Every structure is written in structure tokens, then in C-alpha cells.
Amino acid sequence: MSERLPIVSRDRVISALKKFNYQVISQKGSHVKLTLILKDRKHSIVIPRHRELDRGTLMSIIKKVSEFIDKEEFIKEIKGS
């Protein structure tokens, strides 16, 4: 990825994950837990409910979900393009 990641809101990331079939399972304090259920396994990820996510936090989320969804499509969805 040659382009710099944008600073995005928590809601944009959660919305993008929902479009890739992640479902909000719970919220505890300032963290939201989403889960993707596949035929043979499931993947859960916790997103902090900060207004804006740091680029490092966003990169960590991208790395964690890229095993289950296409990285470039997810980034496009986050950017809104």
C-alpha cells in the first residue's frame, strides 16, 4: 500500500466491516466487538469507540481482517471510494 491511510471515524470502520458481513456482538465501555462467522470458523475483532482512529490503530485493524476479507476492498470502503 503506497498511499497513506486516512484518519477515519470509528463509525466508518464499523460500517465498512458490516458491509463485509461482520456483526456487532457487544459493546463494553468504549469498545465494540464485531464477529464474522464463516462456515469453518469465526473471527472477532474489537474496535475502540474513539471519534477518530489513529493510523496505527487502523493499520492494525486492516491487518487483522485481511485474512478474512480483501484488504484493498476494505480500504476503498473505509475511504468511501
pLDDT along the chain (81 residues), means of 10: 78 95 94 94 92 92 95 91 55
State the pLDDT at residue 5: 86
User: Is residue 30 a part of any domain in this protein?
Assistant: yes
User: Is residue 68 a part of any domain in this protein?
Assistant: yes
Quick one: cell of 43? 473471527
Letter for the amino acid at 49?
R
State the pLDDT at residue 1: 46
CATH number, domain containing residue 19: 3.30.920
Quick one: cell of 15? 460500517
User: Is residue 33 a part of any domain in this protein?
Assistant: yes
Q: Can you say whether residue 80 is alpha, beta or left, with left for phi > 0 and alpha for psi between -120 and 50 degrees?
A: left
The number of residues making up the chain comes to 81
Domain range enclosing 41:
8-79
